[in-house]
Amino acid sequence: MHSPDRQDLPGTELLQLARGSVEYGLIHERPLPIQFDDLHPALSEPAATFTTLRSDGKLRGCCGSLEATRPLAKDVSRSAFQAAYRDTRFKPVGEAELEDIRLEVSVLSSLESIPVTDQADLLEQLTPGTDGLVIVEGLRRATFLPKVWESLPEPGQFLAQLKAKCGLPEDYWSEQLEFLRYQTTTYAESS
């Protein structure tokens, strides 16, 4: 499956879908159902997305998918709902918070495997600020969106924290580790 041409995506419509799903979820406890009739055609193409919620500039929730298994509109609706109500790091969003929360929708490119010989090789291949990274070992899997580079700009630190998120020691290395990279096109509500 391929991602829709990210240059032609209607960012405003994606953000409206995300916000609509958060608001709908507060009342109905499920993602906003999608009616494709009135949507931009690109929103019916398969795509992987993450929705990030921020309150006062701080992370308030972030959930999404790494692989394009649903139409873009459905994936945004689902990721926004999950970020607001299913991210276990935070309590579910309350009605009083809705006005202060700002949403970001990131549309992911296809995942690209990174063949590496060792950790130094991996760090050399990463492009800070551009690459999102997925680490996989067995059933363990974790990712950092490209935006995480803003708080972890040094590649070694970025990788160490991603390993920790995956439940691995920061200095861990194994031939079984797999690394995948992706890029995002991100749309954000204004503050």
- Per-residue confidence band for 88, with pLDDT thresholds at 50, 70 and 90: very high
CATH of domain 6-109: 3.30.700.20
Average pLDDT, the chain: 95
Segment 44-79, tens digit of pLDDT = 999 999 999 999 999 999 999 999 999 999 999 999
- Per-residue confidence band for 6, with pLDDT thresholds at 50, 70 and 90: low
Q: Does domain 112-183 have CATH number 3.30.1490.150?
A: yes
Q: What is the DSSP string of the chain?
A: -----GGG--HHHHHHHHHHHHHHHHHHSSPPP--GGGS-GGGGSEEEEEEEEEETTEEEEEEE-SS--EEHHHHHHHHHHHHHHT-TTSPPPPGGGTTTEEEEEEEE---EE---SSHHHHHHH--TTT-EEEEEETTEEEEE-GGGGGT--SHHHHHHHHHHHTT--TT---TT-EEEEE-EEEEE---
Q: Pick 170 or 6 by higher pLDDT.
A: 170
Q: How is the chain split into domains, by residue range? A: 6-109, 112-183
pTM for the whole structure? 0.92
pLDDT for residue 2: 42
Q: What are residue 96's phi and psi, to 5 degrees?
A: -65, -25
Q: Give the Cα-Cα-Cα angle 79, 84, 89 (nearest 5 degrees).
A: 100
